[in-house]
Structure 1
Amino acid sequence: MIDAYIRPLIDPVLNAQGRVLARWGVTADAVTLTGLVLGLGAAAVIALGAPGWALLPLLASRLADGLDGAVARASHGSDFGGYLDIVCDFLFYGAVPVGFVWLDPVANGAAGAFLLCSFYFNGASFLGYAILAEKHEMKTDARGVKSLYFTGGLLEGFETIAFFVALCLWPGWFAPLAWVFGALCFVTGASRLLLARRVFEGVKGE
């Protein structure tokens, strides 16, 4: 919801760091994969019973997620790099709830399954919209320069990371927080469906 407002604040810093990394020969794909390893490590730390300690690799992984695009813009980005980035993002977003389910399957299992289902639906609405937007040559840089078309929504990247941080700080609240956040994800996905209907209905497909 607020990603478009914070991008102008963080992009200059990320772009400056990205130019430094590019001069050092670091590739965007390497940064993306480093972020994934850190994110999966955070999920593993959660599953092993130390959610508080997971905050450091979790936040570091999101820093890497911001830096990979900056490195790509400072060097030679590719369509594959954008594809790799979104795949790694979705794996990370799924891994963190799984970590909490493994931490306490009895208390967190049902809420975790609901949360993952909401992520699945929300992700499908996002990617489907991006495919149609590309087909119709729609462009936006409101959320930074991306390989895919990023639509807005009630919950976006910032809100999801804030949610994960809250879970790590208060793991005993996972179930109620997951039910609420999952419900809001369904609202986000449904609103994107309505937007797609308004934009694309009546537009002849091929």
Structure 2
Amino acid sequence: MLDAAARKLIDPPLNAVGRTLAARGVTADGVTLTGLGLGLFAALLIAVGLPVLALVPLLASRIADGLDGAVARASRKTDFGGYLDIACDFLFYGAIPFAFVVMDPAANAIAGAFLLTSFYFNGTSFLGYAILAEKRDMETSAQGVKSLYFSNGLLEGTETIAFFVLLCLFASSFAMLAWIFGTLCFATATLRLFAARRVFTMKED
């Protein structure tokens, strides 16, 4: 819901840094993998009971996630680069809730499983929509120039990052926050299914 507005603020500085990195020979795939490494390091810190300290690599990983696209636009965009980016994103999004379960399985296991299930459903609705949109030559740039079609929704990347920050700051409230956010993820995916039915049925008529 907030990604389009966030892109207007973050794209200009990211594009400037991306051009500088590309000029120095840094590759977009390298930035993507660096971002994943930082995200997994954040998950490790959470798992061993240091969620506040994990905020630093967690936020750095998300900056890298924005920079890889900027570097690609300044050098050369590839289909594999877009594929690698989304695969790394999904691994990161799953690793953070899993880390909270590892940190305190007795308190967090059920809520964490619910949250990961909601992520699975929401991610599937997102990728399925992107496949059908590509098949019909649909295009959007509201969330920035992407290799995949990015359908909007109630919860998007900006909200998920804010949620992870809240989890790190209020780790003892993980279960409550996970139930709330997971429910909203289910709502987002359900709404996307209804939108897909309307859009893709209409395009077949």
Q: Same fold (TM over 0.5)?
A: yes
- Superposition deviation, residue 8 in structure 1: 1.3
- Superposition deviation, residue 203 in structure 1: 4.3
**2:163 is matched with which residue?**
163
**1:85 is matched with which residue?**
85
- Superposition deviation, residue 26 in structure 1: 0.2
Equivalents in 1 of 2:6, 2:72: separation in Å? 20
**1:116 is matched with which residue?**
116
Task: Kindly provide the amino acid, as one letter, of the partner of residue 167 in structure 2.
Answer: L
Equivalents in 2 of 1:116, 1:93: separation in Å? 9
Residue 15 of structure 2 corresponds to residue 18 of structure 1: no
Task: List gaps (5 residues or longer) in structure 2.
Answer: none
Residue 130 of structure 2 corresponds to residue 130 of structure 1: yes
Alignment of 1:13-162 (within 5 A): 13-162=13-162
- Superposition deviation, residue 5 in structure 1: 1.1
**1:177 is matched with which residue?**
177
Equivalents in 2 of 1:47, 1:22: separation in Å? 34
Structure 2 length-normalised TM = 0.98
Q: Work out the number of aligned pairs and report it.
A: 205
Equivalents in 2 of 1:175, 1:197: separation in Å? 33
- Superposition deviation, residue 6 in structure 1: 1.6
Task: Kindly provide the amino acid, as one letter, of the partner of residue 9 in structure 2.
Answer: L
- Superposition deviation, residue 79 in structure 1: 0.4
Task: List gaps (5 residues or longer) in structure 1.
Answer: none
Structure 1 length-normalised TM = 0.98
Equivalents in 2 of 1:158, 1:202: separation in Å? 30
Greater shift after overlay, 56-65 or 194-203? 194-203
